[in-house]
Amino acid sequence: MATSATASSAIMLTLPTDGIRQMQWRFADRYDLQMLVQSARGVARGTVAQMVASGERNSHEWTPAKNEMLEAFDRAGITAAFMEPEEGGFISGPKNLALALAAFELAWVDGGAATASLAGFLALAPIHERGTPEQSRHYKELSAPPQPGEDRKPWRGAFVLTEPIPYVGVDTGMLSGKVRIAEWREDEEPWLQVEKRGRFITNIAFANFVTAAVASDDPRIKGSCVVILEETDEGTFDHGTPTKKLVHQLSSTGDPIFNLKVPAGRIVGGYAVREGVLVPNFNHSEVIEAVFRRTRVTVGLMTAAKLLSAVEPVIRYQRGRFRGAEGAKPGTVRYEQGIQQREDALHRLVEVWATGEAAASLGFAAARLFDELDPIEKQKTAIMAERGISGGRAELKALRASEERAVALLRMSERDPRREEIAADPLVQFVLKDAEANVLCPATKLWNTGVGANMMREAVSLMGGYGITEDCPGFLASKWMDAQLEATYEGPEAVQRRQLTITMTSEVFLAQFSAWTGEMRKIAATHPGTGACTLATAMRMWQWTLEHLQKATDASGSKLYHGQRQGVTFPLADALCWLLACRYQIFDVLELERRGYADVTSGGDLAGTVRFLSELCHVQSARAAGEVSRICAELVFGYNEHPSWESEKCATCCFSASEVDELEETMPGIAAMAVDVIGPDGSHPTKAGPCAGCAGANDFLQLQNKLCSCLSGSRLAKDRAAETVSKVMIPEALDYPA
Amino acid sequence: MLHALHIVVCAGIVPDPLQTLEPVTGANGPALKNETMLPAVLDPWAASALYEGANLVAKNPGSKLWLVSMGPKAKLQQVMMTVAQKATFELVPIDSASNGFADAHATAAAVADAIEGIPGLEKTRLLIFGGWESASRGAGVTLQVVGERLGITDQFMGVDQIEMREDGSFEVLERVEGGKHQVSVCAGAPAVFGWATGNLPEPRGNPQIGMANMRTVMPALQKAKPTTLADGGLKFVSATLPSQQRQTRVVKDLAPEVIAAELVEWIGAE
């Protein structure tokens, strides 16, 4: 498959503007979000940057200056972004994209600041997602920033999950909190005694309330729940000692201890009493799942922001590297271009940039998807309630028919008369979006943070020794370290891989993925310069490999694809993430092109920007294809036993020297083609054994061959992107202090 | 007695001061290289006028504030995302270039026409506010010409303070040499004020004010028709950036009082 450059020869003149990003990430028509972006940027590049530059990160303690940052969030509308207008906010409807954009802007300067903003939402999220209307209204009103003329301090919250306490006998996955009945008088609300020790809890230094996950330690309480604890409750509300983090120091983290007596009305989502037992309406897993599947996307976007924020300081450093030296006089190439004379410096920066673009595209696509999913999920819940279906398993069973209809829809021809009716079914819409969201959320968290952290190291290395100092413009060294925490908190990489291994094999998702592969090929036909064809082939290879591994066994006959075999499932999950990131990166460029040319105010640089971003897609598609090819090849061949010189099979698969001599007499030249020949004395070529055959893997090898040739043009795209990087205009100085 | 005022703030947008501004000669005369891509901010001098205007409106019930701003529509939209959170106003956009090379008279004509077209504006209550200076090579005459075109001859430049009086007159402090102010008393509206920095800090952004403003800002932007400014015979012979001056000495272990003395000497020499 040959790929070609985009037809346009325009060159991008400046770094992508706000207008470009608004179109790519689909908020060009949302002035509420554009305002939020500008406000968050003001705080990030003002208050937050000044704090980082003045060394506020050097303390683990929660300082007055850090507290001022929270007030800056309030003033800028960041705190209120979580709330509805009637609750003191200014954005109506789902807010996943809004919160993602705010965190992106804050993380552009400092990940800890972004985390501090997110953690407040995280504390409220269980109440927002699963709380009773009264709980939701009460705690959001308390947490809303004061309106003009109001004199009150907003409440701050923390989310206290299940973190195990090391060395004190608590296992990962077990709740480290207990709840018992403290008092239960007839016809009165029960009182609960809650004991909870938290570990690495964000926002805890200043939290006025927490939402804590606890398990029942009393036969009169069923299962587990999330309960709201306030600092004025009777008992111990100990904020604990600060964690000595090496990263994200602008957010507060500590290990709190709670032993409090609270009314049962604090159980998030309420409860029922059945046969003398208090039954929470939602167990802690149901609450947490609803929360984390949304907030993890935002964390992934924080790392994306770091990568894109590194581009400008690196370009400035590269160009100015030799200025001031005796040999670099103004006007000379050495003076004007500095290190950017060298291809390697440009190529490496192109890779950092391309990764940042892909990560942002994946993350914002996921955030938008959750915005679309939220109302559909509510509709699904209402339909289920109408049908009298409640509980996880009963719902799953009830949705089975909708899943089958969704798969049928995906496989249906465009002209099928049933299409319209099935597509309009809200339950079908739900299962389709839910299947996609179940993959996109862990994919964003896993790929953006994991690959992002590695690429941040690359960005730091492009600044030379300067990169690893506190003086480095853009705080790149801090961002590199911070990215490592982002890969860990809210569910470390193994948790995301584990989730992906389950969700990526759902029938609905795989049917979608198959349709996406065809769709990508169609895009390639109209936009060959994006690398879409390469990506389509890599997607086909991934799906072929998954199907193969689901049936295949290893050399000892053990099944390859199953939950415990993480050596198989986890790399496949990693490979999928590379593909997804590229897919959404290409979509964002197509959207920019579609929307940009329709908008007469886009300016003359649009063609150049589309061209450059397309080339980054091509570069990233080639990198993704390489990763997928490597991972799939290892998995397809790596579990076969390598033939050995000593095995009995060797006698049948190798030629003896005398056999070769005889064949040579009738077929001259054949001796040169015989690789594995056993000599009369049993000697053999010096290697591990006879070369492995490819029986059963022809299809894979054909795909791999095709993928190799699909890479044609990708390095040319990288060369062109590098040329743009060497010429693009950047501001004279970074717009935040360093 | 308080007086309802109609305050119109004329505020252009200018490139972010951190950007490299490179003059180029295009088909229509000088322009800025990559002009459409340069991020913009509200002209800082005129921004002071906006904050002072909003303050006066808040103190005088029944008053109203308009912001007349000239610039490319997309740029205006970007700038308004921040500015609209600072004060309640109605935007009157003029979709035109904002590179600083436009003829001041043509600019003033377009601005005056826009002001004349504001529905419900009463000249007897009208105060025209703007920046005394500009961050984009201001000719220093635009505001005065706007006033003349509107028939307003009471004009004050370098204004730092206005104090409204009960009879509708007001006291104005205008900057003069030596850090002093000239005090004038004006009988009342209409008048033109070219603000210096004023005394007010930049107001805190309030997204709810921003959302309220956006209900009128966005439709106004969508309706704004492109305006071409006449050059009025203006010709630029050349346009160049001022050459950068960097006189750096590396000196170690100098006592603070010695550094201070040297600075005083240098300032004196300037």
Going by pLDDT thresholds of 50, 70 and 90, the confidence category of residue B162 is very high
Looking at chain A, which residue has its C-alpha nearest residue B218? A31
Looking at chain A, which residue has its C-alpha nearest residue B210? A35
Going by pLDDT thresholds of 50, 70 and 90, the confidence category of residue A600 is low
Mutate to test the interface with B, among A90, A105, A335 (most CBs of B within 10 A): A90
Contact A732 B18 (CB under 8 A): yes
The answer to whether B241 faces chain A, any CB pair under 8 Å, is: no
Residues A262 and A116 in one domain: no
Final residue in a domain of this structure, among A255, A285, A315: A285
A262: β partners: A192
Tell me the CATH class for B6-223.
alpha beta
B18, B206, B210 member nearest A731 (Cβ): B18
Q: In terms of pLDDT, which residue wins out, A161 or A473?
A: A473
Q: Are the CB atoms for A509 and A435 separated by under 8 Å?
A: yes
Going by pLDDT thresholds of 50, 70 and 90, the confidence category of residue B230 is confident
Q: Average pLDDT of A356-382?
A: 96
Contact B206 A605 (CB under 8 A): no
What is the rounded (10 degree) CA torsion for A465, A466, A471, A472? -130
Q: Average pLDDT of A116-128?
A: 90
B20, B39, B85 member nearest A39 (Cβ): B85
> Taking 50 as the threshold, does the pLDDT of residue B240 lie above it?
yes
Residues A308 and A451 in one domain: yes
Query: How many Å apart are CA A154 and CA A176, to the nearest integer?
Result: 29
Which residues of chain B are within 8 Å of residue A17 when distances are taken between CB atoms? 37, 39
The answer to whether A37 faces chain B, any CB pair under 8 Å, is: yes
Question: Does some domain include residue A732?
Answer: no
Final residue in a domain of this structure, among A243, A258, A285: A285
Residues A95 and A50 in one domain: yes
The answer to whether A732 faces chain B, any CB pair under 8 Å, is: yes
Going by pLDDT thresholds of 50, 70 and 90, the confidence category of residue A163 is low
Cα of first residue to Cα of last residue in chain B, in angstroms, is 49
> Taking 90 as the threshold, does the pLDDT of residue A647 lie above it?
no
Q: In terms of pLDDT, which residue wins out, A680 or A546?
A: A546
A18, A75, A601 member nearest B205 (Cβ): A75
Going by pLDDT thresholds of 50, 70 and 90, the confidence category of residue A249 is very high
Q: How large a percentage of chain B has pLDDT more than 70? A: 93
Give the domain CATH number at A203: 2.40.110.10
What is the model's pLDDT at position B1? 45
Contact B81 A90 (CB under 8 A): no
Q: In terms of pLDDT, which residue wins out, A462 or A668?
A: A462
Range of weakest confidence among A6-10, A162-166, B27-31, B188-192: A162-166
Instruction: Look at residue A27 and give its three-state secondary structure.
Output: coil
| B127 to chain A, closest Cα gap in Å | 27
Going by pLDDT thresholds of 50, 70 and 90, the confidence category of residue A100 is very high
A19, A36, A90 member nearest B208 (Cβ): A90
Going by pLDDT thresholds of 50, 70 and 90, the confidence category of residue A75 is confident
Residues A404 and A258 in one domain: no
Going by pLDDT thresholds of 50, 70 and 90, the confidence category of residue B20 is low
What is the model's pLDDT at position A497? 96
B73, B205, B218 member nearest A77 (Cβ): B205
To the nearest whole number, what is the mean pLDDT of chain B?
A: 88
Query: How many Å apart are CA A201 and CA A120, to the nearest integer?
Result: 11
Contact B206 A148 (CB under 8 A): yes
Q: Between A and B, how many residue pairs show a Cβ–Cβ distance under 8 A?
A: 84
Q: Average pLDDT of A234-262?
A: 95
Query: How many Å apart are CA A117 and CA A43, to the nearest integer?
Result: 11
What is the model's pLDDT at position A195? 94
Which residues of chain A are within 8 Å of residue B37 when distances are taken between CB atoms? 13-14, 17, 603, 605, 729
Residues A370 and A255 in one domain: no
The pLDDT tens digits of the residues spanning A379-422 come to 999 999 999 987 778 888 999 999 999 999 999 998 999 999 99
Looking at chain A, which residue has its C-alpha nearest residue B212? A90
Looking at chain B, which residue has its C-alpha nearest residue A728? B34
The pLDDT tens digits of the residues spanning A340-356 come to 999 999 999 999 999 99
User: Tell me, what DSSP letter sits at residue B100?
Assistant: S
The half-sphere exposure of A107 on its side-chain side, counting CA atoms within 13 A, is 33
Question: Does some domain include residue A690?
Answer: no
The pLDDT tens digits of the residues spanning B54-72 come to 999 999 999 999 999 999 8
Going by pLDDT thresholds of 50, 70 and 90, the confidence category of residue B156 is very high
To the nearest whole number, what is the mean pLDDT of chain A?
A: 91
> Taking 70 as the threshold, does the pLDDT of residue A165 lie above it?
no
| B220 to chain A, closest Cα gap in Å | 14
Question: Does some domain include residue A701?
Answer: no
The answer to whether A596 faces chain B, any CB pair under 8 Å, is: no
Domain coverage including residue A317: 292-639+708-727
**Using CB atoms and an 8 Å cut-off, which of residues 77-106 of chain A contact chain B?**
77, 80, 85, 90
- Dihedral sign for Cα A45, A51, A53, A54, please: positive
Q: How large a percentage of chain B has pLDDT more than 90? A: 56
Looking at chain B, which residue has its C-alpha nearest residue A145? B206
Q: Average pLDDT of A329-336?
A: 91
What is the model's pLDDT at position B39? 74
What is the model's pLDDT at position B112? 97
> Taking 60 as the threshold, does the pLDDT of residue A611 lie above it?
yes
What is the model's pLDDT at position A332? 92
Contact A35 B74 (CB under 8 A): no
Question: Does some domain include residue A530?
Answer: yes
Which residues of chain A are within 8 Å of residue B206 when distances are taken between CB atoms? 77, 148
The answer to whether B93 faces chain A, any CB pair under 8 Å, is: no
> Taking 90 as the threshold, does the pLDDT of residue B27 lie above it?
no
Which residue type does A286 have? Answer: E
The answer to whether B214 faces chain A, any CB pair under 8 Å, is: yes
What is the model's pLDDT at position A230? 98
Contact B205 A42 (CB under 8 A): yes
Looking at chain B, which residue has its C-alpha nearest residue A74? B206
> Taking 70 as the threshold, does the pLDDT of residue A162 lie above it?
no
What is the model's pLDDT at position B249? 74
Mutate to test the interface with B, among A20, A38, A609 (most CBs of B within 10 A): A38
Looking at chain B, which residue has its C-alpha nearest residue A35? B81
What is the model's pLDDT at position B216? 92
Q: What distances in angstroms separate CA A8 from CA A16, A70, A605, A613, B181, one per listed residue?
A: 17, 47, 12, 12, 59
What is the model's pLDDT at position A188? 93
Which residues of chain A are within 8 Å of residue B72 when distances are taken between CB atoms? 601
Going by pLDDT thresholds of 50, 70 and 90, the confidence category of residue A2 is very low
Give the domain CATH number at A402: 1.20.140.10
Q: In terms of pLDDT, which residue wins out, B177 or A109?
A: A109
Rank A339-348, A642-651, B203-212, B238-247 by mean pLDDT and report only the highest.
A339-348
The answer to whether A603 faces chain B, any CB pair under 8 Å, is: yes
> Taking 50 as the threshold, does the pLDDT of residue A1 lie above it?
no
What is the model's pLDDT at position A168? 45
Contact B81 A34 (CB under 8 A): yes
Which residues of chain B are within 8 Å of residue A598 when distances are taken between CB atoms? none
The pLDDT tens digits of the residues spanning B187-222 come to 999 999 999 989 999 888 888 899 999 999 999 998
Final residue in a domain of this structure, among A244, A266, A285: A285
Which residue type does B145 have? Answer: V
Residues A591 and A617 in one domain: yes
The answer to whether A30 faces chain B, any CB pair under 8 Å, is: no
Query: How many Å apart are CA B143 and CA A431, to the nearest integer?
Result: 61
The answer to whether B26 faces chain A, any CB pair under 8 Å, is: no
The answer to whether A598 faces chain B, any CB pair under 8 Å, is: no
Look up the ipTM and state it.
0.77
The answer to whether B20 faces chain A, any CB pair under 8 Å, is: yes
Q: Average pLDDT of B128-134?
A: 93
The pLDDT tens digits of the residues spanning A287-318 come to 887 778 778 999 999 999 999 999 999 999 99
> Taking 60 as the threshold, does the pLDDT of residue A169 lie above it?
no
What is the model's pLDDT at position A89? 87
Which residues of chain B are within 8 Å of residue A37 when distances are taken between CB atoms? 81
Write down the pTM of the prediction.
Answer: 0.89
> Taking 60 as the threshold, does the pLDDT of residue A174 lie above it?
no
Nearest by Cα to A286 from A368, A393, A197, A387: A393
Question: Does some domain include residue A663?
Answer: no
The answer to whether B222 faces chain A, any CB pair under 8 Å, is: no
Looking at chain B, which residue has its C-alpha nearest residue A42? B82
Query: How many Å apart are CA A312 and CA B86, to the nearest integer?
Result: 30
Cα of first residue to Cα of last residue in chain A, in angstroms, is 47
3-state helix, strand, coil in chain A (%, to 5): 60, 10, 30
Contact B18 A90 (CB under 8 A): no
Which residues of chain B are within 8 Å of residue A45 when distances are taken between CB atoms? none
Contact B34 A31 (CB under 8 A): no
> Taking 50 as the threshold, does the pLDDT of residue A170 lie above it?
no
What is the model's pLDDT at position A47? 93
Query: How many Å apart are CA A395 and CA A399, to the nearest integer?
Result: 6
Query: How many Å apart are CA A703 and CA A710, to the nearest integer?
Result: 10
What is the model's pLDDT at position B229? 84
Q: Average pLDDT of A525-534?
A: 96
> Taking 80 as the threshold, does the pLDDT of residue B21 lie above it?
no
> Taking 60 as the threshold, does the pLDDT of residue A672 lie above it?
yes
What is the model's pLDDT at position B37? 65
> Taking 80 as the threshold, does the pLDDT of residue A424 lie above it?
yes
Query: How many Å apart are CA A470 and CA A58, to the nearest integer?
Result: 11
Name residues whose C-beta falls within 8 Å of residue A487's C-beta, 6 or more positions apart in sequence.
Answer: A303, A449, A450, A452, A453, A493
Give the domain CATH number at A42: 1.10.540.10
The pLDDT tens digits of the residues spanning A705-724 come to 999 999 999 999 999 999 99
Which residues of chain A are within 8 Å of residue B73 when distances are taken between CB atoms? 601
Q: Are the CB atoms for A217 and A227 separated by under 8 Å?
A: no
The answer to whether A605 faces chain B, any CB pair under 8 Å, is: yes
The answer to whether A597 faces chain B, any CB pair under 8 Å, is: no
Tally of domains in chain A: 3
A13, A77, A733 member nearest B34 (Cβ): A13
